[in-house]
């Protein structure tokens, strides 16, 4: 799906105090960004940010990072942060391919919510649960590795389950008709259409 570009979005994102500029400068020292040693939870592909924003409001003792490639979709999240002034949520506008150049054994949990399924075989490496990305996650996790995934795409879900198993992740919870109190924008849309939501939580020691 082609994302609509909003004129001036790059300037708004780059000037926001909630967006971390040059995030590679903070590798190994993200605790200094939040000025505490609380756990850091990361959502890759946060979109408009509804999910991670509500998570951050509910869990003030956890630090959250919204990781999103496209500036245009971040405008809503920036507006919400400016209104509520949450100090436990930051934004990175970058390509997830570079995640292992930004974090080094600092992340306690990764959320993958309604990621692009990249259905064609030749695009497999772009899937956020492919071997390429799971190997990168190994470098950014601190201690026990925890991933939570939600998707409407049954094929991606089945692919992810097998990929997690191949990388020695244990399935803690799995549900093919999942209901979450905190939903993404996509999730709300899919539920209205009657589409089932797939969910899995996996860990690796």
Identified catalytic residue from 100, 116, 138, 155:
116
Tell me the pTM: 0.94
Where is pLDDT greater, at 131 or 7? 131
In the annotation, is 116 catalytic? yes
The continuous run of DSSP H or E covering 199 comes out as strand 198-204
The continuous run of DSSP H or E covering 177 comes out as none
- Residue spans of the domains in the chain: they are 17-150
pLDDT digits (tens, 9 = 90+) for 170-195: 999 999 999 999 999 889 999 999 99
Q: Are 140 and 147 in contact (CB under 8 A)?
A: no
Grade residue 3 by pLDDT with cuts at 50, 70 and 90. Answer: low
pLDDT digits (tens, 9 = 90+) for 91-139: 999 999 999 999 999 999 999 999 999 999 999 999 999 999 999 999 9
Quick one: 17-150 is in which CATH superfamily? Vaccinia Virus protein VP39 (3.40.50.150)
Residue 70, SS3 per DSSP: coil
Q: Are 36 and 64 in contact (CB under 8 A)?
A: no
Strands 145-151 and 198-204: antiparallel
* Residue 89, phi then psi, degrees to nearest 5: -135, 125
Tell how far CA 192 is from the center of its chain. 23
Q: Are 69 and 96 in contact (CB under 8 A)?
A: yes
Give the model's pLDDT for residue 161. 98
């Amino acid at each position: 799906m082609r994302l609509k570009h909003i004129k001036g979005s790059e300037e708004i994102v780059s000037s926001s105090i909630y967006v971390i500029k040059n995030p590679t400068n903070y590798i190994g020292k993200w605790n200094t960004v939040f000025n505490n040693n609380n756990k850091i939870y990361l959502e890759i592909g946060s979109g408009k940010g509804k999910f991670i924003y509500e998570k951050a409001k509910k869990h003030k003792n956890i630090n959250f990072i919204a990781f999103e490639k496209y500036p245009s979709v971040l405008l809503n999240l920036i507006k919400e942060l400016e209104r509520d002034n949450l100090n436990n949520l930051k934004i990175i506008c970058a390509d997830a391919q570079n995640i292992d150049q930004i974090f080094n054994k600092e992340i306690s949990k990764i959320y993958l919510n309604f990621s692009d399924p990249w259905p064609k075989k030749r695009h497999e490496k772009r899937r956020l649960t492919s071997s390429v990305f799971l190997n990168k996650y190994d470098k950014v996790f601190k201690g026990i590795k925890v991933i939570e995934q939600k998707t409407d795409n049954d094929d991606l879900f089945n692919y992810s389950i097998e990929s997690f198993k191949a990388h020695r992740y244990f399935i803690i919870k799995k549900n093919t008709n999942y209901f979450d109190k905190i939903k993404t924008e996509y999730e709300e849309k899919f539920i209205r259409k009657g589409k089932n939501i797939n969910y899995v939580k996996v860990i690796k020691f």
